[in-house]
Amino acid sequence: MKILDWGYNRALLGGTGIDKASVLASRYNKPDRTIDQQVDALIRWQRILAGSSGFITGLGGFISLPVAIPANLASVVFIQLRMIAAIAHLGGYDLEDKKVKSLIFACMAGNVAKDILQEAGIRIGTRITYRLVENISERSLLTINQKVGFALVAKSGSKGFINISKAVPLAGGIIGGSIDVISTGLIGRIARRTFIDVAPVD
């Protein structure tokens, strides 16, 4: 959770030569595009960014990492959190709202996000409305954050790819980059379902 908090704060503030989430969102907010087209373009380019290397070195505040984690992991966490936050911003959500922040964290859990939110009494599948966000209790927020933390620890606990990267650095880099591209696309789609997709209204 310290890593997520760090990444989220950097996503909101940006850094030297790196746009914050709201500015990133504005780059895709074009009047000639539908909201779906805006989000799709955003996700597409963030997938490419996540698959590249060396991004984190230009991020202001890198030395303030709360724990010792690999630079590539910090980079991907930042990219994915900023992407989700930008999608939420395009959907009109307040990124300073701690309830919105918890929903953004839940998206980081990937396919597990739906189960985490359902256990907290939040149905995902159509856009989460402002009224629903306002009704999320403090207890639900705590539940969401705890389960997201456990889910991300479980995801990062696999040693297989780490061992490959140590034995064959080039192969490890290619595999790791591919995983980052795929996972960023998945997380982006979940964020879109959470903050953008709207059920037909009367």
- The per-residue pLDDT for 156 is 59
Query: SS3 of 104, please?
Result: helix
Q: What is the pLDDT along the chain (202 residues), one digit of tens a residue?
A: 788 888 899 889 887 778 899 999 999 998 898 999 999 999 999 988 887 754 554 455 554 555 555 666 677 888 899 999 999 999 999 999 988 998 898 888 876 666 667 666 666 555 565 566 766 777 777 777 777 777 777 665 543 444 444 444 444 444 555 677 888 888 999 899 889 875 433 3
Bridge partners, residue 18, by sequence: 15
- Burial per residue of 149-183, b for 16 or more beta-carbon CB atoms within 10 angstroms, e otherwise: bebbeeeeeeeeeeebbeeeeeebeeebbeebbeb
pTM recorded for the entire structure = 0.74
Q: C-alpha 147: how far from its chain's center?
A: 15
Question: Is residue 122 within 8 Å of residue 136, measured between CB atoms?
Answer: yes
